[in-house]
Amino acid sequence: MLLTVDIGNTSITLGAYKNNDLVFTARLMTDREKNGDEYAAGLTDILKLNNAEPDGFEGAIISSVVPEITGNFSLALKKVIGKEPLLVGEKYNGNLKVHILPVSYLGADLIAASVGATEKYPLPCLVADLGTATKILVIDNDGVFRGCTISPGVKISLEALAERASLLPEISLERPERVIGENTVECMQSGIVYGTAAMLDGLVKRIKEELGAENVTVVATGGYSKTIAECCETEIIYDENLLLDGLKVIYNKA
C-alpha cells in the first residue's frame, strides 16, 4: 500500500492506495505546535480506525505548503510505517513540464494537482483548487503548466467579513436558495458562494481566450469546490481526490 499526504494550511489530508484503488481517506487538523510524536499518535489512530497495518505500507509521499510541519510529519510517518517519505518538489515532481520558471518554484500542491489532472483528463485543462486560497491552474494542450491565478479563499473571505465588519456574524458556508439574500446570513452566503462562482466563470472565460482554446476541461477540487462548482455556469468536473491521485502518480514515477 501507498500512503499519500497533502499538508495544507487548514488540514492534512491522507489517502491510502492499494494498487490503483483509493482504500480510505482521512483528515487531521493542521497544527503548527504539534511535534512528531503527536502527529505519530494521530496517524496511528487513523490507521487503526481504517484497519490498516502500519507495516503494510511500501512507502509514502508528501506534498506540503506548510514547511514548519513537513519535518515533524515526515518523522511521524517514519516512526509509524517505518518508511522515509518522498517529498514533492524539485526531485520528485512527476516530470511535470513548466513554462518559464523551474518546477522547483511551484508549490508542492500545485505540482501534485497538475500531475493528477494531466494523467486523468483531456488537455488543455484548468484546475480550480478551492482551499485556503482559490487557485486556477492552467495546463496547456502539451501538458505544460503555464501558470495560475491565486485569490483569497472562501474561508479567508468569510473570516475577514466577520472580523472586520462589526455587525456581520461568523457563518457556515452553504449554498443559499437565491442570489438576492433576504437576511444577513443569506446575503453573506450569496456574496461568497455565487460571487466566487461568478469569479471562476469569468476567469475561465478569460483564460480560454488567452490560450486560444475553446474546448478546455475544467476540474474543481479542494475543500469548498463542490458547493462552488454547483453554482458555476461553466461545466466543471468535481474531483475530490485529484491531488491525492497526483501524489500516487508522482510516487510511481519516482
- What structural domains does the chain harbor? 2-87 (3.30.420.40), 97-247 (3.30.420.40)
Residue in this structure with the C-alpha cell 486523468, named with its chain if needed = 120
Question: ∠ CA 186-221-171 to the nearest 5 degrees?
Answer: 25
Work out the end-to-end distance of the chain between its first and last CA atoms, rounded to an integer number of angstroms.
16
Report the predicted TM-score, pTM, of the whole model to 2 decimal places.
0.92
pLDDT top residue among 21 and 188: 21
Q: Which of 6, 37, 109, 129 is catalytic?
A: 109
pLDDT at residue 211 greater than cutoff 80: yes
Compute how many other C-beta atoms are within 10 angstroms of the C-beta atom of residue 187.
16
- pLDDT tens, position by position, 213-223: 989 999 999 88
Q: Among this protein's residues, is 140 annotated catalytic? A: no
The β-bridge relationship of strands 133-139 and 125-130 is antiparallel
- Give me the pLDDT at residue 207, please: 97
The Cα–Cα gap between 68 and 70 comes to 6
User: What is the three-class DSSP state of 179?
Assistant: coil
Cell of 173: 458556508
* Mean pLDDT confidence for 92-100: 90
Compute how many other C-beta atoms are within 10 angstroms of the C-beta atom of residue 165.
10
